[in-house]
């Protein structure tokens, strides 16, 4: 009997509390756009509110909980465009959610607006095997655009953006070859995500089939002077054309000369490097890293911010030098084309005898292609002859600079004389 009485008292208390908590009235919706709407109501003597909303005919509600009692409106976002919604609100009149009102009457709204026009003029250019350029007509007073794209017939979109007005194109990257894609554009009218348009109509395109180029890097190794037993600048140049296999490992050796490693301390600047790609130029400073005696050192490459972006090894070995490096795999085994320069400032010392100095380049691609090259430079120890002694020969000759470019005679300059009998001489001429 006592338990029944307590139960009746609790039910009476709960129903009394509920009737004392009044649901909000005068519901209406405003500032309605494609993806959001503002829900409004009259305040009551509540501690907090709860809102529920859904697409009319939908089975599950979405909720906004613990809304402050001082509020009389709430912005609802991430709605579905061009959809009919229904919503209600209830009041909670205590802190423990015991005194609660009924759900209010319903209000409805449709996510539609004429404030957010979009363009439907789309076209695709520069289509190749792994990217394409999306283009569209700009929209008056637009703030920015967003692109999404996918393989035609699939469900998952990938997004690009923001693209700020008046820009009206963007590269769609990392595509699959010989594959059809579709893409669309969405326009935002202000700096928020509230005033967004519908997605545009789709434009479609098909990527081309990838055709690899032969692995044929261009190598140029040079020194600034050819006087024997003299420190000189050593420059190593490598370039590749578009669609060649990426370089995996490279080794450059010589049959003479040496690096003056014993003069280095960790952190010393030893030169610089420049990398030019189709999209950027990277300039770095070369500094000595780990130095393991007089015949081995690691050279670190730092960008303009001081960040380490790569390294390679230099050695004195087998009567010459060795420069070896391994390129990190970027997941794509083909290059878009580049030129690379590595310059050592007065770190290389020429051999101390006359004769040819050979630089041998051995490069392997990430696909195991092999490439070899040899550069030969004549080293001179005490050659100093007059202009007349050379021109007295009855043989015809042509004059070249040390890079193999035809030139005219110059005083006190290392020149290459190539004679009609096939012989060549590297000399410094004086008057």
Q: Decide if pLDDT at 300 tops 80.
A: yes
Q: Which residues contact 308 (CB under 8 A, 6 or more apart)?
A: 300, 301, 302
Q: Residue 431: its pLDDT value, please?
A: 41
Is 20 a member of any domain? Answer: yes
Q: Which residues contact 302 (CB under 8 A, 6 or more apart)?
A: 284, 285, 287, 308, 309
Q: Decide if pLDDT at 217 tops 80.
A: yes
% of the chain with per-residue pLDDT over 90: 79
| 415 pLDDT tier (thresholds 50, 70, 90) | confident
Q: Residue 18: its pLDDT value, please?
A: 45
Q: Residue 399: its pLDDT value, please?
A: 77
Q: What is the CATH number of the domain that holds 55?
A: 2.60.40.10
| Domain, as residue range, for 185 | 122-206
Q: Decide if pLDDT at 42 tops 50.
A: yes
| 317 pLDDT tier (thresholds 50, 70, 90) | very high
Is 213 a member of any domain? Answer: no
Is the domain of 180 the same as that of 82?
Answer: no
Q: Which residues contact 58 (CB under 8 A, 6 or more apart)?
A: none
pTM summary value: 0.59
Is 347 a member of any domain? Answer: yes
Q: What is the mean pLDDT of the chain?
A: 89
Q: Do the bridges between strand 203-206 and strand 308-317 make them parallel or antiparallel, or are there none, so unpaired? A: unpaired
Is the domain of 241 the same as that of 350?
Answer: yes
Is 24 a member of any domain? Answer: yes
% of the chain with per-residue pLDDT over 70: 87
**Per-residue pLDDT reduced to its tens digit, 377-402:** 999 886 444 444 444 345 566 777 76
Q: Decide if pLDDT at 156 tops 50.
A: yes
| 3-state per-residue secondary structure call for the chain | CHHHHHHHHHHHHHHHHHHHCCCCCCCEEECCCCCCEEEECCCCCCCEEEEEEEECCCCCCEEEEEEECCCCEEEECCCCCCCEEEEEEEEECCCCCCCECCCCCCEEEECCCCCCCCCCCEEEECCCCCCEEEEECCCCCCCEEEEEEEECCCCCCEEEEEEECCCCEEEECCCCCCCEEEEEEEEECCCCCCCECCCCCCEEEECCCCCCCCCCCEEEEEECCCECCCEEEEEEEEEECCCCECEEEEEEEECCCEECHHHCCCCCEEEEEEEEECCCEEEEEEEEEEECCCCEEEEEEECCCCCEEEEEEEEEECCEEEEEEECCCCCCCECCCEEEEEEEEEEEECCCCCEEEEEEEEEEECCCCEEEEEEEEEEECCCCEEHHHHHCCCCCEEEECCCCCECCCCCCCEEEEEECCCCEEEEEEEC
Q: Residue 406: its pLDDT value, please?
A: 77
Is the domain of 375 the same as that of 392?
Answer: no
**Per-residue pLDDT reduced to its tens digit, 72-123:** 999 999 999 999 999 999 999 999 999 999 999 999 999 999 999 999 999 9
Q: Decide if pLDDT at 71 tops 70.
A: yes
Is the domain of 255 the same as that of 318?
Answer: yes
Query: Mean pLDDT across the stretch 296-301?
Result: 96
Query: Mean pLDDT across the stretch 146-165?
Result: 97
Is the domain of 240 the same as that of 365?
Answer: yes
**Lowest-pLDDT range, 164-168, 297-301, 342-346, 405-409?**
405-409
Q: Residue 407: its pLDDT value, please?
A: 80
Rounded distance between C-alpha atoms, residue 355 and residue 358, angstroms: 10
Per the structure, how many domains does the chain have? 4
**Per-residue pLDDT reduced to its tens digit, 268-292:** 999 999 999 988 999 999 999 999 9
**Lowest-pLDDT range, 10-19, 170-179, 234-243, 254-263?**
10-19
């Amino acid at each position: 009997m006592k338990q029944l009485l307590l139960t009746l008292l609790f039910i009476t208390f709960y129903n009394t509390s509920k009737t004392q908590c009044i649901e909000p009235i005068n519901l209406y919706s405003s500032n309605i756009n494609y993806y959001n709407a503002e829900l409004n109501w009259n305040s009551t003597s509540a501690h907090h509110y709860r809102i529920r909303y859904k697409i009319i005919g939908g089975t599950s509600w979405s909720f906004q909980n613990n809304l402050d009692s001082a509020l009389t409106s709430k912005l609802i976002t991430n709605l579905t465009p061009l959809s009919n919604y229904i919503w209600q609100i209830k009041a909670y009149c205590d802190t423990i959610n015991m005194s609660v009102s009924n759900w209010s009457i319903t209000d409805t709204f449709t996510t539609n607006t004429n404030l957010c026009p979009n363009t439907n003029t789309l076209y695709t250019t520069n289509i190749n095997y792994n990217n394409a350029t999306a283009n569209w007509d700009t929209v008056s007073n637009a703030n920015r655009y967003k692109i999404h794209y996918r393989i035609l017939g699939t469900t998952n979109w990938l997004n690009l953006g923001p693209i700020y007005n008046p820009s009206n194109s963007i590269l769609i990257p990392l595509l699959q070859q010989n594959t059809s894609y579709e893409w669309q554009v969405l326009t935002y009218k202000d700096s928020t995500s509230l005033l967004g348009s519908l997605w545009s109509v789709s434009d479609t395109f098909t990527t081309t089939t990838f055709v690899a180029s032969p692995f044929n890097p261009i190598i140029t190794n040079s020194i600034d002077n050819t006087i024997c037993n003299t420190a000189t600048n050593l420059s190593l140049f490598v370039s590749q054309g578009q669609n060649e296999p990426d370089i995996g490992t490279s080794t450059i050796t010589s049959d003479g000369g040496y690096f003056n490693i014993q003069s280095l301390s960790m952190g010393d600047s030893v030169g610089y490097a420049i990398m030019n790609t189709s999209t950027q130029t990277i300039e770095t400073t070369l500094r000595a890293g780990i130095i393991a005696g007089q015949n081995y050192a690691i050279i670190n490459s730092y960008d303009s911010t001081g960040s380490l972006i790569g390294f390679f090894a230099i050695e004195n070995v087998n009567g010459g030098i060795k420069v070896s490096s391994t390129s990190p795999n970027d997941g794509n085994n083909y290059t878009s084309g580049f030129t690379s320069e590595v310059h050592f400032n007065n770190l290389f010392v020429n051999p101390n005898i006359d004769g040819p100095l050979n630089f041998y380049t051995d490069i392997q691609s990430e696909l195991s292609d092999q490439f070899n090259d040899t550069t030969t430079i004549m080293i001179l120890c005490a050659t100093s002859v007059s202009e007349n002694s050379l021109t007295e020969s009855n043989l015809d000759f042509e004059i070249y600079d040390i890079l193999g470019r035809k030139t005219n005679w110059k005083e006190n300059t290392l020149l290459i004389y190539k004679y009609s009998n096939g012989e060549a001489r590297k000399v410094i001429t004086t008057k």
